[in-house]
A and B are shown apart, each in its own frame.
Chain A
Amino acid sequence: MFTPGLYHILLISSALFFIGVYGFLTRRNLITMLMSIELILNSVNLNFIAFNKYLWPDKLDGLFFAIFIIAIAAAEAAVAIAIIINLYRSHQSIDVDSAEEMKY
C-alpha cells in the first residue's frame, strides 16, 4: 500500500496537473499563466515516464514523447515570452484584461 508504484506517481501527476489548471483559471497575469502551463506539461511528462517504466519497459516510446514535449515546451515558452514583452511594450501591462481589444 505504501510502497510507491504506478498509482502513486499517477496520483502525484494528476494533482500537479490540476494545481496547474487552478493556477491557469485564477491568475490574470500572463507570466504566471505561462508558469501554470509549464506545471501542466511537467505533469504530463511524469505520466509518460511512469507508464513507460511500469507498463512497457521493453519500449522507449513514452520517453520519446517526454523528450518531444520538453522540446516543444521550450519553443512555446520562448514564443510566449516574446509576445508578452511585445504586449508590455505597447500596453505597459501584462494583464489579460488589458489585452482584450482583440476580442471583437
Chain B
Amino acid sequence: MSGSTIIFYMLAALILVSGLLAVSTRQIFRAAIFLLFALIGVAGLFFWMQYEFIAAVQIVVYVGGITVLIIFSIFLTQQAGEKMPKQKLGRQIFSGLAAFCGFAFTMLQVFQHSFIGTIDQPLEPNVANIGTQMLGVNKSGYALPFEVVSMLLLVSLIGCIVIAINPEQEIVKIENSITITK
C-alpha cells in the first residue's frame, strides 16, 4: 500500500464517521462540530484528487462560513447543554431502512455500470484555466451562470436582511427619530 492509498482511506473514514456522528448525536453543538470535521474531510479529498482550487473554496466557504453561521444560529436559538428529545424508534428504523435500501440500490447500479472516459489530453485544473473559462463568453464559457449566481447572492443577501430584521425595533427607531426631529 502506498502513502496515497493510506491517506485516502483515512480521509474516507474521517468523512463517514464524522458524518454519521453529525446526524446521530443528540447534542446539537456536537453535531455542528462533527459536521465541521466531515466538511474538512471532503476538502482533504479534493486536495487528494489534486483539485486545489475547489478544496480552498470548500474550506473558505463551508468550513469558514457556513459552519460558523450554523454555530451562531445554535447560540441564538438553543439553550446550551440541552439535549434534543429522543426520536421515536419506529421512525429511526424506517429512516435507516430507507437510507440503506437507497444506498444498496445506488451501489448496485454503479458497480454494474462501466464508465468510459475520454482519452483526450487532460486540462490542468489550475486557477488560470478556471478563470479563463469561467469568464469566457465563447461556446464553453460560463459567464452567464456566473452573472446569474452573482444576482442570486445579492437577492439572498437582501432577502436575509428583510426576513431577519426585527419589525418592533424598526418601529421604535422610527418613533425615536420622529421625536428627535420634533
Contact = CB atoms under 8 A, between A and B. Distances in A.
**Interface magnitude class on chain A:** 35 or more
Interface string A17-36: 01111110111110110111
A33 to B, nearest CB: 10
Given A18-B102, A88-B76, A42 B62 contact: yes
Interface SS of B by simple majority: helix
Interface in A2-52: 2-4, 6-12, 14-16, 18-23, 25-29, 31-32, 34-36, 38-39, 42, 45-46, 49-50, 52
Contact of A2 (B1, B22, B61, B116): B1
B123 A74 contact: no
B23 A55 contact: no
B61 A23 contact: no
B8 A8 contact: yes
A36 B130 contact: no
A96 interface: no
Interface of B: 1, 4-5, 8-9, 12, 15-16, 19-20, 22-24, 28, 31-32, 35, 38-39, 42, 45-46, 49-51, 53-54, 57-58, 61-62, 65-66, 69-70, 73-74, 76-78, 84-85, 87, 91-92, 94-96, 98-100, 102-103, 106-107, 110-111, 115-118, 120-123, 125, 129-130, 133-134, 140, 142, 145, 149, 152-153, 156-157, 159-161, 163-164, 166
Given A32-B84, A78-B69, 12 more contacts: A15-B103, A20-B19, A21-B99, A22-B23, A23-B22, A25-B95, A26-B23, A42-B39, A49-B54, A63-B51, A64-B130, A81-B69
